Amino acid sequence: MAGNRTSIHGQWSSRWAFILAATGSAVGLGNIWRFPYLVGENGGGIFVMVYLVCVLLVGVPILMAEIMLGRRGRQSPINTMKALAADENRGQGWQIIGWTGMLTGFLILSFYSVIAGWTLAYVVRTASGVFVGTGAAQVATTFNELVSDPERLLAWHTIFMMMVIIVVSRGVKGGLEQAVRYLMPALFVLLLVMVGYAMSTEKFVEGMRYLFVPDVDLIRQKIENGQFFGDVFLNALGQAFFSLSLGMGAIMVYGAYLPGSSSIPGTSIVIAMADTGVALLAGIAIFPVVFTYGMEPSSGPGLIFVTLTVAFAQMPGGAFFGTLFFCLLLFAAWTSAISILEPAVAWLVEYKNMTRVKAGALAGFAAWLLGIGTVLSFSHWSFSFPFAGQVKTDGLFDVFDTLASNILLPLGGLLIAIFAAWVMSTKSSAEELGLSKTAYRAWQIAARFIAPAGVILIFLNAIGIV
Ligand code: PHE
């Protein structure tokens, strides 16, 4: 049984539609672009292991909490938190979850759109066949030429942001739902094709070992240097939030459109499994190619663009598969970007009575403007700074990404867990989640203690206190 509010923004047509939309939000550049390069920068298997622990113990309970709050409040995250706090006779302060979430969303969308722009550029490039038969060095040079050309990046960034605004303007059913139905499964199948190619490369076993076997010496070395928690754990935690779209209200606002009769726990598990599955498949497709062609796993944000392009350049039918792959990646990025903008759009519609079209254009424009910082990060405005034991080298892009993913998302998630499991009455949360007694208890322990303690400990460690 769910609460008794209704959403003014409409509702998903079924539980399945919600699963598709939420999976569309979760599966995106985070899985295919961000996950592999973080694995490469943080030592391979150790990172993957810590990441999986973060998803299970922190991600899944917060995913359930966020959908639950959304469905009970049935409004934009800001107004949902206001209404739910009032239900529990608490003050207006809890709105902060919605406000910081919106801010985080702008930060994320600003760079997300630029990277999605790279994907657009790669659709055109692979389709034109320029890469056929070329090798790793040349593919890397073409990548560097693209990212160091701000005009070109700005053009692709602009096109992508317009695509996002158009779909968001069309609303829950017309815009969001239609898009996800066929293209998500297609992406999955194409990733399997890429895994098939990776299996045929010389260094498949080495790639798998890198991904799944934690290197004990490296762990020891990182512990000795004080980097193990600070950077590996913090990056893994940030990635768990980023990849599951948690901590900023995206999943909360999608939950607001979920029919009352659908099971939240079952849905959450499907979403988390699909999301993790796609990330791991991307890793399996990429690392054997990295080793086979003598590339560096730690080469940063360009990793998949270079690696996969080399694979496409070498495999039979590469131009065709390459084009298809980048199209699907673009699509995955699109369905995620839409969900990043939705909390702000829903709020503008509720608060300012704007039409969705106007709200979408306004919020999209703000994120677009901020994106110029990322456009210039790989050329004129590149600078480095140290953060939690690592040196970040990509200017404002790294500032926005680190601030949003490693600080604001976990912080938002922490507050969401505290609100859902401590502030909200047990009766309301139990009613909304609809779990058996034991399962509810397990969720409550995870959301009350394990997830908050995990986030707090990792934070304290990153700033050098524990
Ligand atoms: N989860 C998306 C991805 O992995 C990104 C995202 C982050 C979407 C935060 C919504 C909110 O690409």
Q: Where are the domains of the chain?
A: 2-462
> In ligand 1, which atom is closest to the CA atom of 33?
12
The reported pTM is 0.95
Contact assessment for residue 324 and residue 190, using Cβ atoms and an 8 Å cutoff: yes
> In ligand 1, which atom is closest to the CA atom of 333?
12
Q: Determine the 3-state secondary structure of 10 from DSSP.
A: coil
Angle between helices 96-128 and 318-352 (to 10 degrees): 150
> In ligand 1, which atom is closest to the CA atom of 242?
7
**CA proximity to 98, closest of 458, 419, 459:** 419
Q: Whole-angstrom distance between the N-terminal and C-terminal Cα of the chain?
A: 43
Q: Which of 339, 345, 403 to mutate to test the pocket of ligand 1 (most atoms within 8 A of CB)?
A: 339
- Which residues have CB under 8 Å from 196's CB, separation 6+? none
Residues in contact with ligand 1 by the CB-under-6-Å rule are 25-26, 28-31, 108, 242-243, 245, 248, 250, 336, 339-340
Instruction: Give the CA count within 13 Å in the CB-facing half-sphere of 405.
Output: 29
Spatial distance between the Cα atoms of 77 and 221, rounded to a whole number of angstroms: 42
The pair phi, psi for residue 297, each rounded to 5°, is -60, -25
Q: Is the dihedral of CA 190, 192, 197, 198 positive or negative?
A: positive
Matching residue, tokens 């113990």: 57
Tell how far the Cα of 25 is from the centroid of ligand 1, in angstroms.
Answer: 6
Q: What is the pLDDT of residue 395?
A: 93
Q: What is the pLDDT of residue 1?
A: 40
Tell how far the Cα of 438 is from the centroid of ligand 1, in angstroms.
Answer: 31
Torsion angle in degrees (nearest 10) through CA of 283, 127, 144, 112: -60
Spatial distance between the Cα atoms of 30 and 33, rounded to a whole number of angstroms: 6
Tell how far the Cα of 134 is from the centroid of ligand 1, in angstroms.
Answer: 33
Q: What angle do CA 214, 54, 405 make, to 5 degrees?
A: 105
Question: Running DSSP on this structure, what letter comes out for residue 377?
Answer: G
Contact assessment for residue 267 and residue 43, using Cβ atoms and an 8 Å cutoff: no
Contact assessment for residue 10 and residue 78, using Cβ atoms and an 8 Å cutoff: no
Spatial distance between the Cα atoms of 54 and 238, rounded to a whole number of angstroms: 9
Q: Which of 168, 243, 253, 278 to mutate to test the pocket of ligand 1 (most atoms within 8 A of CB)?
A: 243
Spatial distance between the Cα atoms of 32 and 242, rounded to a whole number of angstroms: 12
Instruction: Give the CA count within 13 Å in the CB-facing half-sphere of 163.
Output: 21
Spatial distance between the Cα atoms of 333 and 245, rounded to a whole number of angstroms: 12
Matching residue, tokens 């049984």: 1
Ramachandran bin of 294, using left for φ above 0, alpha for ψ from -120 to 50, beta for the remaining angles: left
pLDDT string in tens for the chain (466-residue length): 456 799 999 888 888 888 988 999 999 999 999 999 999 999 999 999 999 999 999 999 999 999 999 999 999 999 999 999 999 999 999 999 999 999 999 999 999 999 999 999 999 999 999 999 999 999 999 999 999 999 999 999 999 999 999 999 987 677 667 767 777 888 888 899 889 999 999 999 999 999 999 988 888 888 888 777 778 999 999 999 999 999 999 999 999 999 888 889 999 999 999 999 999 999 999 999 999 988 899 989 999 999 999 989 988 888 998 998 999 899 999 999 999 999 999 999 999 999 999 999 999 999 999 999 999 999 999 899 988 778 898 999 999 999 999 999 999 999 999 999 999 999 999 999 999 999 999 999 999 999 999 999 888 877 777 6
Which amino acid does the sequence have at 42?
N
Spatial distance between the Cα atoms of 149 and 144, rounded to a whole number of angstroms: 9
Q: What is the pLDDT of residue 246?
A: 98
Domain 2-462: assigned CATH number = 1.20.1740
Question: Running DSSP on this structure, what letter comes out for residue 93?
Answer: G
Instruction: Give the CA count within 13 Å in the CB-facing half-sphere of 132.
Output: 11
Residue nearest to atom 7 of ligand 1 (CA): 245
